[in-house]
Amino acid sequence: MRLLVLGGTLFVGRHIVKAALERGHDVTLFNRGRTNADLFPQAERLQGDRDGDLSALEGRTWEAAFDPSGYVPRVVRASAEALAESVGHYTFVSSGSVYPFEDGSHDERSPVEQLEEETEDVNKAYGALKALSEREVEQVFPGRALILRAGLIVGNYDWTNRFGYWVRRVADGGEVLVPAPRDWTIQIVDARDLVDWALDLAERGEAGTFNAVGPERPITIEELVETVKRVSGSNASFTWVEEDFLLDQGLEPFDDVPLWLALGRNKELSSFYGMDNAKALRAGLSFRPLAETIADTLAWERERSGRPLEKDYGAGAEVAGLSAEREAEVLRAWRERA
């Protein structure tokens, strides 16, 4: 299959290219050529800019295209329109953030976020912009669009540190701060599981919208950290700190403490990890063991240790997680509380 990837050198796009090449597909990457330009020498490269210069796509045809790098509806529509007559099937990697984070579980028929005011600020209106981007793709590729509303994607090449923080921190050992209670849950999907399934669907030419999240059941935070401890063989001990204390210490959910939502005070986020994946499971989405995802993520985290993020992800890249000094400070305050 002749496959075009818009991007293809960061995280999910990188996994798509790697898996597609391993399957024997002819892969073309279209990007600006600024990031990880030495990757995949066996793939064809076209240089351009989704927001302004799509000329390199002219006069070419592909059987399928993957778009893991679309965030702004205007830009997504321009790329889709440029490919409407030259691509048979279009996969758009969207996000579970299209759903309002209110009570209940969301399936593919649930209402999506609406843009309250005109903006292209992804940080301000990420979910609504993704939802509008989905609509643009579906309008340009009616009956030929595959929309994957991914949950929290984890694994190798994930620069955000949301999952990698816990893998690396627990593996390092010692006293580890973990928000209580022990049974709050998360939903994740290994990037490789997402990509393998997406390629299967694209090869079959399947269209539609799917919640692409796993595993079959949510994972508790205790299960996660205990599995990291077992896989890494670390001597970590876990100190379970009450949510209100962490918030009073000024810690930001999800940013300072990855994956944690502080639902006691942020009830409006209660369905963040509440995506219904039954439709995707029926369509063949499957998941490798959590221990395998952890082991491979840990190997990558150790491989990239000490390398500046700017080398791979651009100056100003922000990642989640507590510094060792800040974690020790909060743990000390927890022990000394009246």
Q: Please check whether residues 261 and 177 belong to one and the same domain.
A: yes
CATH number of the domain bearing residue 98: 3.40.50.720
Band (217; pLDDT cuts 50, 70, 90)? confident
What predicted TM-score, i.e. pTM, was given to this entire model?
A: 0.94
Q: Name the residue type at position 55.
A: S
- The answer to whether residue 83 sits within a structural domain is yes
Instruction: Output DSSP code: residue 316.
Output: T
Distances from the Cα of 179 to the Cα of 129, 240, 251, 259, angstroms: 31, 5, 11, 10
How far, rounded to the nearest angstrom, does the alpha carbon of residue 228 sit from its chain's CA centroid? 20
Query: Do 31 and 168 share a domain, yes or no?
Result: no
- Phi/psi of residue 322, each to 5°? -85, 145
What pLDDT, on a 0 to 100 scale, did the predictor assign at position 315?
Answer: 41
Q: Looking at 100, 127, 150, which one is the last position of a domain?
A: 150
Residue 282 resides in a domain:
no
Q: Coil, strand, or helix at residue 91? A: strand
The pLDDT tens digits of the residues spanning 42-61 come to 999 999 999 999 999 999 99
Tally of domains within the chain = 2
Whole-angstrom Cα distance, residue 269 to residue 290? Answer: 24
How would residue 202 be classed by pLDDT, with cut points 50, 70 and 90?
very high
Give the CA angle between residues 150, 152, 158 to the nearest 5°: 110
314 has a pLDDT exceeding 80: no
252 and 177 together in one domain: yes
28 and 135 together in one domain: yes
Q: Are residues 139 and 172 both part of a single domain?
A: no
pLDDT of res. 8: 95
- Please check whether residue 186 is in contact with residue 259, taking contact to mean a CB–CB distance below 8 angstroms: yes
Residues 172 and 120 in one domain: no
DSSP state of 150: E
Residue 29, in any domain of the structure:
yes
The pLDDT assigned to 219 comes to 95
Q: Calculate the dihedral angle through the C-alpha atoms of 244, 249, 252, 255, rounding to the nearest 10 degrees.
A: -120
* Residue 318 included in any domain: yes
Select from 279, 271, 276, 278 the least CA-distant residue to 100: 271
pLDDT, tens only, 232-258:
999 999 999 999 999 999 999 999 999
Interatomic CA distance for residues 160 and 164, integer angstroms:
8
The reply to whether 49 falls in a domain is yes
* 13 plus 46 within the same structural domain: yes
On the question of pLDDT at 306 being above 80, the answer is no
The CATH code of the domain that includes 251 is 3.90.25
In a domain, 157, yes or no: no
What residue numbers bound the domain in which 94 lies? 2-150
76 and 49 inside one domain: yes
Report the candidate in 264, 298, 258 with the shortest Cα–Cα distance to residue 178: 258
Please provide the DSSP assignment of 236-289 as one string: -EEEEE-HHHHHHTTPPBTTTBTT---TTT-GGGTTTT-B--HHHHHTT-----
Residues 226 and 137 in one domain: no
- 175 and 93 both lie in a single domain: no
**Is pLDDT at 111 greater than 50 in this prediction?**
yes
Predicted confidence at residue 310, as pLDDT, reads 41
Instruction: Say whether both 312 and 260 belong to one domain.
Output: yes
> Coil, strand, or helix at residue 235?
coil
Residues 40 and 169 placed together within one structural domain of the fold: no
87: amino acid identity, one letter? V
Cα separation of 49 and 163, whole Å?
30
- Mean pLDDT score of the chain: 93
Residue 81 has phi, psi (to 5 degrees) of -65, -35
